[in-house]
Amino acid sequence: MQHIDEQYIVSNFESALEQGFVKAYYQPVIRTLTERICSVEALARWQDPVVGLLSPFLFINVLEKYHLIHKLDLAILDNICVTYNKMKELGLALHPFSINLSRLDFDEIDMLDAISKTLEKHNVPSTAIHIEITESVMLDNTAYFRRIFDSFHDAGFAIFMDDFGSGYSSLNVLKDYSFDVLKIDMRFLSDIGIRSKKILASVMNMAKAIGMHTLAEGVETKEQMTFLRNIGCEMLQGFYYAKPMDGDLYVKYLSDSKLGVEDPAENHYWNSVGQINFLSPDPLYDLTNEQLESGDYGFIRENSTPLALIEQTGKHVELLYCNEAYVKGLKRIGFNSVDDMISTINNTEAAYYPNMNEQVYTSIKTGQVIKEDHLINGIYFTYLTKCIAEGNGKVMLAASIQTYGGDVDKSTNDLFEKYSRMLIDTYDHISVIDPTNNIVITRLYSKLGFNDKYPEMPLDDAIKMFAENEVAEYDRERFIRSMEPSSLRDRMARSGRRFFQQPFHYKTKSGEYEIMDTKLIKVLMGENDVYIFSIETMSEQAHKAAELFVREHPEYFQF
Ligand code: C2E
Ligand code: MG
Ligand code: MG
């Protein structure tokens, strides 16, 4: 590191300030889930015409020693205001800025008053400024600093604890002060080995438990980024995304960057999302501060719960996070991957979509955990959803999935199997057809003794022959029309339902014709939609009513 004479700094600092040699550099902060720029930190740089670029490490200590530090910090704030107003002029999104303060700032002057005056002068709101303070600052004189921070909070500033983990008494500091954001420097962890990972995960867990937001700085590698993302760290800052850059370059970077800037109106939305703890054994049921205060300690639960964060904008659905357990659950219900599920949900034609949709709307409406059973790809499962944030036309759902296959809950699955077979027994006939490929897939079950040849024929031929042999002449044409395979998909889509239902007269074993309820139900099997064709005997009353209606109102039975 270069050596600069203390005296050089002291005697040149104020003229350097005046000539604009000392200025703010900006390093963006990235929202982990979306990878958009959500704020920026201002870092002091001294570009000296004689000795070159000076890093803060060379002059901060000296300025502190000579009671000049507050001048630097206010000059940096002034710089921020100029950049802020330039961004405003250019119509760029106005994300917040962080400044670093020294403990000595508070000893020298009334810092809140000085900061407020600077902001007033430039017409910049206090909510646009975050204050970063290193934890070592607050080791002594707790009551004094608490008062100061309270007054900053009251004035609308957010306060970040900088360099968490670098000092000696971090836990005390956390207990004594209420910070908005915990800033963890990756460089304090000499490597990102198992121990470091465990420490980071625990810090994340703790921060969420006490309601603090999390930001990791000094993120340099993709590996670090991926790990931090997986443990639920909300924001990232470091060379992996961008180095600090001067004001002009930063404004240009904002306009050019592929990342894009988060809409500041969404700040509250993302703060709510950030509170979900990816590491919690039961994230949907995590206790709020109020519940903890009431002495409810039922929060220790077993097993990692499948968790996904799904964002819905209008009808479009996007997955922002899911853990391993969730992926496993999806595979159990027949999806190849998470992408597979999302594209299926976005395909509103999917047969089960309306059911899921209803569950989602109930979650949004009630804000409660909604738990419903579904059947997809022939597999029964329970889906849990909870709306965790809402705003700007978007909602964020936390979702979990319980499947009953394999080792998870064999007895529930066995019972389900047993009773669903009993349910099938209430039908007189069930077969499965695939109109896309023009085939009868199989005859599943039949009490009516229909000819075994149908599954061997092309579907359109089978329908005609079936109508000829099994359907009363009076109903034959209507039967053929409603079963017509090539138009089935479109007709079903137009109906807005997932099934057709009509009565037809079928030949029974005794040779007589009897009117029976008939359903053609669309189900999804992987990529294909197939249809279950079912025939069911009606009760005596329904039977009579159907006879009457089919004759007097044939227009009710056109599909
Ligand atoms: P800090 O607030 O923790 O700032 C983060 C430091 O890490 C910055 O160093 C930044 O350039 C550096 N950094 C960011 N990303 C990475 C990365 O991925 N890898 C590595 N190796 N480094 C990264 P910088 O700018 O030299 O500042 C050092 C410290 O000086 C700051 O630490 C802050 O405590 C203090 N400081 C900087 N500007 C000011 C200021 O205007 N006022 C006051 N009071 N202190 C300041
Ligand atoms: Mg900082
Ligand atoms: Mg730091």
| Angstrom distance (rounded) from CA 390 to CA 392 | 7
119-123, 193-197, 324-328: range with highest mean pLDDT: 119-123
Q: Is the CB of residue 220 below 6 angstroms from any atom belonging to ligand 1?
A: yes
Domain boundaries, the chain: 6-181+235-266, 308-408, 426-557
Give the model confidence (pLDDT) of 130-146 as tens digits.
999 987 766 678 888 89
Question: Which of 133-165 are b and which e, b meaning 16 or more Cβ less than 10 Å from the residue's Cβ?
Answer: bbbebbeeeeeebeebbeebeeeebbbbbbbbb
Closest CA to 162 of 219, 237, 243, 217: 217
| Angstrom distance (rounded) from CA 439 to CA 256 | 54
Question: Which position has the token pair 């009897």?
Answer: 514
Under DSSP, the state recorded for 446 is E
Q: How far apart are the CA of 115 and the centre of ligand 2, in A?
A: 17
**Which ligand 1 atom is nearest residue 134's CA?**
34
Q: Is the CB of residue 165 below 6 angstroms from any atom belonging to ligand 1?
A: no
CATH domain 6-181+235-266 topology: TIM Barrel (3.20.20)
Give percent of the chain above pLDDT 70: 92
| Angstrom distance (rounded) from CA 218 to CA 220 | 6
95 touches 38 (CB < 8 A): yes
Pocket test of ligand 1: the residue of 27, 39, 43 to mutate, having most ligand atoms within 8 Å of its CB, is 43
pLDDT at 297: 46
What 3 state SS string does 122-165 have?
HCCCHHHEEEEEEHHHHCCCHHHHHHHHHHHHHCCCEEEEEEEC
E strand segments, 377-462: 379-391, 394-403, 429-434, 439-446
Q: What is the pTM of this model?
A: 0.79
552 touches 539 (CB < 8 A): no
Q: What letter represents residue 478's amino acid? A: R
Alpha helices in 369-504 (DSSP H): 410-424, 459-470, 473-483, 485-495
Atom 7 of ligand 1, residue of closest alpha carbon:
218
Q: How far apart are the CA of 25 and the centre of ligand 1, in A?
A: 10
Atom 29 of ligand 1, residue of closest alpha carbon:
56
CATH domain 426-557 topology: Beta-Lactamase (3.30.450)
Atom 27 of ligand 1, residue of closest alpha carbon:
56
Give the model confidence (pLDDT) of 71-122 as tens digits.
999 999 999 999 999 999 999 999 999 999 998 999 889 999 999 999 999 9
Task: Give the confidence band of 410 by pLDDT, cuts at 50, 70, 90.
Answer: low
Give the model confidence (pLDDT) of 376-389 as tens digits.
777 888 999 999 99
Could you check whether 6-181+235-266 and 308-408 share the same CATH topology? no
Query: Quick one: which H or E segment has residue 536?
Result: strand 528-536
Give the model confidence (pLDDT) of 196-245 as tens digits.
898 999 999 999 988 899 999 999 999 999 999 999 999 999 999 999 99
Task: Give the confidence band of 328 by pLDDT, cuts at 50, 70, 90.
Answer: confident
pLDDT at 300: 37
pLDDT at 34: 95
Q: What letter represents residue 48's amino acid? A: D
| Between residues 171 and 559, the one the model is more confident about | 171
Q: How far apart are the CA of 164 and the centre of ligand 3, in A?
A: 8
DSSP structure string for 154-220: HTT-EEEEEEETSSS-HHHHHHH---SEEEEEGGGSSS-SHHHHHHHHHHHHHHHHTT-EEEEE---
CATH domain 308-408 topology: Beta-Lactamase (3.30.450)
Give the model confidence (pLDDT) of 243-268 as tens digits.
999 999 999 999 888 889 999 889 89
216 touches 230 (CB < 8 A): no
